[in-house]
């Protein structure tokens, strides 16, 4: 098995990789029409990790650099998004492997944060939090304020996760 990771800045993605990424994202997120147009959901991420089996792209995760507001002051967040594994390669622990690679790299964040299913991410060190979030709802073009189901965080250093409101200062990712 020739599985390997690559890390790449999103700004350095060329046309061939862009095509490969959109193909995988459309396959894994068929309801997300944004990927028919471009390789990001709402905002372009800073970095991407690619998982390849031989030359085939079989997995992907990306990271947004975020500074979010809290009662404890500003927190540095690695915003995790577009976690996906090609259907032929699921159920083998590849999400855990891929996130572990990202965690080793993203040492400067206070926390990694994502929106997803607890059953998928718990074994990678994430836990659900229930803070009310202020965020920009791009569908209705309004700022909203409420807890969002599936908000999960992983401590990347010894900072305590704050109670109370969190200001995402932009859309969810």
Ligand X SMILES: CC(C)(COP(=O)(O)OP(=O)(O)OC[C@H]1O[C@@H](n2cnc3c(N)ncnc32)[C@H](O)[C@@H]1OP(=O)(O)O)[C@@H](O)C(=O)NCCC(=O)NCCS
Q: How far is the CB of 100 from ligand X (least distance, A)?
A: 10
Closer CB to ligand X, 3 or 8, in the complex: 3
Closer CB to ligand X, 115 or 136, in the complex: 115
CA 124-129-133 angle, 5° bins: 125
Q: How far is the CB of 147 from ligand X (least distance, A)?
A: 17
Q: How far is the CB of 73 from ligand X (least distance, A)?
A: 28
Cα–Cα distances in Å, from 64 out to 2, 47, 60, 146, 165? 28, 7, 14, 21, 20
Q: How far is the CB of 96 from ligand X (least distance, A)?
A: 5
Q: How far is the CB of 99 from ligand X (least distance, A)?
A: 8
DSSP annotation string for 30-48: TT-THHHH-S-SSS--SEE
Closer CB to ligand X, 58 or 166, in the complex: 58
Closer CB to ligand X, 101 or 165, in the complex: 101
Closer CB to ligand X, 3 or 17, in the complex: 3
Residue ranges in contact with ligand X by CB under 6 A: 28-29, 83-85, 90-96, 116-117, 119-120, 122-123
């Amino acid at each position: 098995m020739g599985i390997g990771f690559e890390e790449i800045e999103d700004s350095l993605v060329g046309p061939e990789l862009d095509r490969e990424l959109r193909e995988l994202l459309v396959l894994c997120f068929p309801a997300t029409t944004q990927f028919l147009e471009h390789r990001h959901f709402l905002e372009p991420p800073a970095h991407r990790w690619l998982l390849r089996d031989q030359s085939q792209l079989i997995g992907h995760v990306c990271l947004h650099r975020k500074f979010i507001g809290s009662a404890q002051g500003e927190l540095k967040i690695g915003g995790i998004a577009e976690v996906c594994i090609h259907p032929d390669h699921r159920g083998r622990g590849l999400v855990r492997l891929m996130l572990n690679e990202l965690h080793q790299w993203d040492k400067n964040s206070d926390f990694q944060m994502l929106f997803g299913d607890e059953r998928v991410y718990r074994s990678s060190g994430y836990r659900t939090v229930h803070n009310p979030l202020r965020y920009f709802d791009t569908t209705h073009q309004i700022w909203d304020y409420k807890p969002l189901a599936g908000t999960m965080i992983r401590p990347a250093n010894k900072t305590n996760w704050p109670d109370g409101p969190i200001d995402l200062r932009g859309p969810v990712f």
